């Protein structure tokens, strides 16, 4: 009984059903585990792992330079930037905005540099539901290829103060 000290030799072989269950559970865990490294070789959706340190000032400067070069319009007070797919793209999170609005081409791969200039934010593209963390002081390099076109929203899904729920940005894919 589990509430008394076991008597005699309790280091006994398993019963048949328990043994089968243990093997099935082990095999399934191995499959689930091996999927992850294998998916990095055969899958096309993987968490990016390239990142660098960047200061808030340097990142702001990169955002401004990009705006000067590639702004094509304005939407609700935000510059609309249509970047060149061959160059790095910058997207800034701050309380409580995503700047700028990005205009991307479908099926082109962009190198998007994500960073925050104040708190931790959560980068969440809807309605496709793609989620990443944005950390202040860290430049997260995301190779992203939009495979559907239309208007997309970027929500913030990490609490960042009382205006958190108003932090919505936009991506247009054409």
Residue list 94-153, contact with another protein (CB under 8 A): 97, 109, 114, 118-120, 122, 124-133, 135-140, 142-148, 153
Nearer to another protein, 69 or 130 (CB): 130
The residues, any chain, with a CB within 8 Å of residue 66's CB and separated by 6 or more, are 81, 83, 89, 90, 100
Q: How far is the CB of 101 from another protein (least distance, A)?
A: 8
Residue list 49-68, contact with another protein (CB under 8 A): 49, 51
Burial degree of 1 (CB within 10 A; 0-12, 13-18, 19+): exposed
User: Which tokens sit at 66?
Assistant: 């990009």
Q: Contacting another protein (CB under 8 A), which of 11, 42, 57, 86?
A: 11
Q: Is residue 24 at the binding interface for another protein, with CB under 8 A as the rule? A: yes
DSSP secondary structure, 61-120, as one string: HHHHHHHHHHEEEEETTEEEE---TTS-EEEEEETTEEESEEEE-TT--EEEEEEESSS-
Q: Is residue 6 at the binding interface for another protein, with CB under 8 A as the rule? A: yes
Nearer to another protein, 70 or 140 (CB): 140
Q: How far is the CB of 68 from another protein (least distance, A)?
A: 22
Nearest to 114 by CA among 137, 96, 140, 132: 140
Cα–Cα distance measured from residue 121 to residue 89, given in angstroms and rounded to the nearest whole number: 18
Number of residues lying near another protein (CB under 8 A): 89
Q: How far is the CB of 161 from another protein (least distance, A)?
A: 7
Given the rule CB under 8 A, which of 65-73, 76-84, 86-94 is the region that contacts another protein? Answer: 76-84
Q: Is residue 77 at the binding interface for another protein, with CB under 8 A as the rule? A: yes
Nearer to another protein, 34 or 69 (CB): 34
């Amino acid at each position: 009984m589990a509430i008394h000290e076991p008597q005699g030799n309790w280091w006994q072989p398993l019963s048949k059903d328990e043994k089968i269950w243990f093997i099935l559970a082990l095999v399934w865990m191995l499959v689930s585990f091996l999927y992850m490294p294998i998916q990095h070789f055969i899958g096309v959706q993987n968490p990016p792992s390239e990142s660098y340190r960047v200061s808030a000032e340097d990142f702001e400067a990169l955002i401004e330079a990009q705006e000067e070069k590639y702004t094509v319009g304005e939407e609700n007070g935000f510059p609309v930037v249509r970047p060149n797919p061959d160059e790095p793209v910058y997207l800034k999170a701050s309380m409580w905005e995503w700047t700028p609005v990005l205009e991307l081409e479908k099926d082109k791969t962009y190198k998007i540099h994500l960073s925050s200039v104040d708190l931790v934010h959560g980068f969440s593209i809807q309605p496709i539901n793609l989620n990443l963390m944005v950390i202040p002081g860290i430049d997260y390099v995301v190779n992203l290829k939009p495979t559907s076109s239309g208007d997309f929203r970027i929500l913030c899904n990490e609490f960042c103060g009382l205006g958190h729920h108003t932090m919505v940005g936009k991506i247009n894919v054409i």
